[in-house]
Structure 1
Amino acid sequence: MEHTLYFVGSERFVQLLNHIYWRQKGAFDLAEDLYDTWVAFAVEEGIFRYEIGVQSGEAGFADVVLCPPGVPFRRAAITPLTFHYLQFSASREEAAELLPPAGRSLINDTKRLASTYAYLRQASEENDLPSELWKNHLLMDLWQLFQLERRQSRLKERKFTEDVLMAEAAVLLEEQAGETVSLQELAHRLALSPVQLTRRFREAFQETPSDYLKAVRLKKARSLLAASTLTLAQIAERCGYENGFYLSRVFSKAMGVSPSEYRRRSRV
């Protein structure tokens, strides 16, 4: 019996289609393949060379190599390879927010990663519904771990401030960037007046909360324009803007090019 599995949460879903655990594979049967679904090679041991579109390099332990649907995947083992072959489906739009970029992504938390791999090994020969659900959960764990580390990396890039309350304000603005944000409500949550919040935030980050929020929203809009096929109206909704027309006006003024032109240039 074929099981259809979905991970649902925050309007995101991934369906695991196939999982194979390969041990000490000295060479790939096919030097190049083309898949109609997403495919990931999660390496436990060994090194292999890959080429996916314009992305190329070598991957080893703690690397996850991701190939999108319809893109040629060239590969060659350099040393005997032990890895998890993970084939799954995901919508293009949600994949743009959830999955790593095509090519190699490094997972830094190797202890957590090794635990996930161990559970995948244990379940690799099981095909009953509970096991398939468990493996789907473990696949999602890989992507959630990647997202967690990416968020932590972004936090490190943020301007440092010794004002703990303003650091919290910045985090709240980032978390709520896709929604309607009220400066008054944010100030109330931090037990400040709007004037106090604006003054302290400017002292901490050399910009107002509104300017900071705008920068966060535009960064997300640029990412979605470059990596997804979402319409401008859909991007506007995800970035906290009323409609695509307003986003286009703000984007064009800030970036010097229209959203459509930015998308075109990003895909050259």
Structure 2
Amino acid sequence: MTAQSSLPQRGVLRSFLPGRGVLRSEWIKLRSVRSTYLSVLFATLVAVVLGVLATSSDASNWATMTAQDKAQFDPLGDSFIGLIFGELAFGVLGVLAISTEYRTGMIRATFSAVPQRGRVYAAKALVVGVVSLVLGMLLVFGSFFLGQAMLSSKHLEVHLGDPGVLRVVLSAGLYLFVVTMIGFGLGAILRHSAGAIAALVAMLWLAYPIGRVLDHLSYLPSRILLFNIADAITRTHAATGKPALRIPSLELAYSSLALYLVVFLALGAWRISRDA
């Protein structure tokens, strides 16, 4: 590649590199809106409360469980049962981080201050991504430790040093991060909070029955659904029986998550480069 041909590519790259001022501005915006705190509070309450209730119920009813139920018992799965709903709150956080500016018209002032839209988008994505990753990890580790504390009375708990446990906990936090960024991408693409949240709900939950309908043709559609990807990466043991046909391998699950992340961020970047 010649030096001349590499110059346009370098210019495109620079247009997506946010400066400190842009990053600081986006951080102030994110922590200044009430929806940020409400989303995080909802996710925390749902994830922690449901996880504690599920694991405490397991501990209380362990003596009366059947042998089959005991064999299928998953201490991690019950600790993270609240993330099924908590993920929506993280996704909504991503949506509102960008769609709110379009709803209020503030985006025009943002682009007036920083005409390079790529830098604005990159700064927003970086701030939202870092915040969601940190909060997601805090949430899953908190859910894990509280859940295991409930199970410890019956000696059913697992520890981070046990095989596969740390991977599962980290994967749960990573999943929340990806869902947040999918919501962020949807917010940039649709520029309408309600529409983007509806699309997010469809991706998280409503796509599941569609995948079931297509199972008689191929299990691949089910295996790349977010619902089943989450199931795959939050297990220490592989699924068994017919439901296992819908659960992707770890390799497919992680590569699908990466594809979701790249596609939605790329589509959002393309959309934000259009007319505001």
TM-score (norm 1): 0.27
Structure (1 or 2) with the greater helix fraction:
2
TM-score normalized by the length of structure 2: 0.26
